[in-house]
Amino acid sequence: MSSLHDATTGTERESRGESPVEQDQPLLRVRGLKKHFPVNTGFISSVKLNRSGGFPLTLDDTKVRAVDGVNFDLHSGETFGVVGESGCGKSTLARTLVGLEQPTDGTIVFEGEDISDFDSSSLQQFRKNAQIVFQDPQSSLNPRRKIGSIIADPLEAAGWDKDKRRDRVLELLEDVGLEEDFYNRYPHEFSGGQRQRINLARALSINPDLVIADEPVSGLDMSVQAQILTLMDDLQDEYGLTYLFITHDLSVIRQVADRIAVMYVGDFVEKAPTSKLFAEPHHPYSRALLDAVPNPDPASRDLSAELHGDVPSPSDPPSGCKFHTRCPKIIPPDGFSREEYIEYVTFKTEFDERSVDPTDDPATYFDVSLPRLAQSTVEKAFTLAEDGDWDAAKAELDTHQSVCETAVPDLEQVADASRHTSACHLPDAEREPYTW
């Protein structure tokens, strides 16, 4: 097995990632892709009582912005990784791309044809060319059907006759490292790793160009993970596949991806070639993610839990840079130090959730003492909140705002690195070099 993964494979991969051959037409081009889900389904449930005067009913059209404007190109033969915490929208992205969800906005162009409408005849062609592999190999295989017929499903849909289907399935079983006599067995007879091999065989049956893999190794043991990852690598060479690989595991993504996008609450915050992202992560969120990965090598540095709290709700994402509520590198406004302003932002978030008791002494909410100006703001806000006017109190607190809260950062090219983009207001000069 080691001969398949000698040093040359590694260098080829690196060079592919760093100086890619720009093709005229990407295999998949995604522009401004959005997928929003309504919080309330149907008219009746979205009507809410409004007691603040005026017309007594309002329409609650809050949306969960699962994917909120994502752009990327996928070139033939590459592996593009999308990484992020749960709830960041990465699985919705996968489902929207293969047409399991109708996109709210944006375009998906596959081999030059727009398929985002999903009613054109190009859709059927697209389905032959794009396949998805899901996380849970157990629930994505019908327990009452034999392996042979499960793998042959896409072939049947494509109109292959029975004998050809059988030959093809036997060939596929061999390709994914399973035995021919598994043809007549049922899914429950297999381990998680073997089931994921079956899923791969099914996905590959009609020779797709694009395979979207949504957390394909998450439920598997470490030794089995390595098996599936090397298998996917071999299959990529053999079948000339393009992968969109979605995972929350940075160790896994490093093994497979040529380029990586880091996703946070529906947006890509950083896109970079793999080696670049791991050596010089730019966005504070990418850095915090890397810091949180436990590394088995005792010589590497300890992990640090830089990020506190959970991913904010995508139905009411934070203003400006969505990461500002948890960012350890937030740009403080005039008069604040970074440490003070992080405290202030945390307090503002708590205040928004109304988990602050306005009758308390404001000082108990802060570990560091705030600048005098901010202290009086907080006191005013407490007085307003005590009178019940939370909105005015919130407005009062918002007199101190960071650029991170007021302006949405664009995905911009990182200094002198082509194809490395990051959405952060922090100037390049203020970043420390990243070390493992």
Partner 1 sequence: MSLLEVSDLRTYFYTEAGIVRAVDGVDFEVEAGESLGLVGESGAGKSVTVKSLLGLIDVPGKVVDGEIYFDGQALHEMSEQELRQNVRGSDISFVFQDPMSALNPVHTVGSQIAEVVEYHTDRTEAEAWERAVTLLDDVGIPDAEQRADQYPHEFSGGMRQRVLIAMALSCDPKLIIADEPTTALDVTIQAQIIELFEEIQEKYGTAIVYVTHDLGVVREVCDRVAVMYLGKIVESAPYDELYQDPHHPYTQMLMRSVVTPDRDVSELEPIQGTMPSAVDPPSGCRFRTRCPREFDECGRYEPPRIQVGENHDSACLLHDEQFEREEPALHLDSGAAETDSTSGSRGAYDE
Q: Which residues bind partner 1 (CB under 8 A)?
A: 1-2, 5-7, 9-10, 13, 85-86, 191-194, 221-227, 229-230, 233, 248-252, 254-256, 278, 288-300, 302-305, 307-308, 310, 350, 355, 436
To the nearest whole angstrom, how small is the minimum distance from the Cβ of residue 424 to partner 1? 18
To the nearest whole angstrom, how small is the minimum distance from the Cβ of residue 112 to partner 1? 32
- Between 300 and 399, whose beta carbon lies closer to partner 1? 300
To the nearest whole angstrom, how small is the minimum distance from the Cβ of residue 394 to partner 1? 19
- Between 302 and 430, whose beta carbon lies closer to partner 1? 302
To the nearest whole angstrom, how small is the minimum distance from the Cβ of residue 180 to partner 1? 17
For 337-367, the three-class secondary structure string (H helix, E strand, C coil) is: CHHHHHHHHHHHHHHHCCCCCCCCCHHHHCC
DSSP single-letter state for residue 29: E
- Between 83 and 130, whose beta carbon lies closer to partner 1? 83
To the nearest whole angstrom, how small is the minimum distance from the Cβ of residue 226 to partner 1? 4
φ and ψ at residue 421, rounded to 5 degrees: -120, 150
- Between 85 and 105, whose beta carbon lies closer to partner 1? 85
- Between 149 and 275, whose beta carbon lies closer to partner 1? 275
- Between 206 and 224, whose beta carbon lies closer to partner 1? 224
> How many angstroms from the chain centroid is the CA of residue 395?
33
To the nearest whole angstrom, how small is the minimum distance from the Cβ of residue 242 to partner 1? 17
Q: Is 258 in contact with 16 (CB distance < 8 Å)?
A: yes
To the nearest whole angstrom, how small is the minimum distance from the Cβ of residue 292 to partner 1? 4
Q: Roughly what angle, to the nearest 10 degrees, separates helices 192-204 and 147-157?
A: 20
Q: 259-289 burial, b for 16+ CB within 10 Å, e for fewer?
A: bbbbbbbbbbbbbbbbbbbbebbbbbbbbbb
φ and ψ at residue 71, rounded to 5 degrees: -120, 130
- Between 149 and 218, whose beta carbon lies closer to partner 1? 218
Q: Is 29 in contact with 229 (CB distance < 8 Å)?
A: no
To the nearest whole angstrom, how small is the minimum distance from the Cβ of residue 42 to partner 1? 23
Q: Is 402 in contact with 332 (CB distance < 8 Å)?
A: yes
Query: 160 vs 157, 174, 206, 261, 344, CA distance in Å?
Result: 8, 20, 10, 37, 64
Q: Is 17 in contact with 274 (CB distance < 8 Å)?
A: yes
Q: Is 220 in contact with 191 (CB distance < 8 Å)?
A: no
To the nearest whole angstrom, how small is the minimum distance from the Cβ of residue 233 to partner 1? 7
For residues 423 and 401, give the distance between their C-alpha atoms in angstroms, rounded to a whole number.
19
Which alpha helices (H) appear in 247-283, and where do they start and end? 250-256, 274-279
Euclidean distance between the first and the last CA atom of the chain, given in angstroms as a whole number:
29
- Between 226 and 392, whose beta carbon lies closer to partner 1? 226
- Between 52 and 355, whose beta carbon lies closer to partner 1? 355
- Between 155 and 342, whose beta carbon lies closer to partner 1? 342
To the nearest whole angstrom, how small is the minimum distance from the Cβ of residue 32 to partner 1? 27
To the nearest whole angstrom, how small is the minimum distance from the Cβ of residue 20 to partner 1? 18
Q: 132-162 burial, b for 16+ CB within 10 Å, e for fewer?
A: bbbbbbeebbeeeeebbebbbebbeeeebee
- Between 293 and 368, whose beta carbon lies closer to partner 1? 293
Q: Which residues pair with 29 in a beta bridge?
A: 73, 109
**Three-class secondary structure of residue 261 per DSSP:** strand
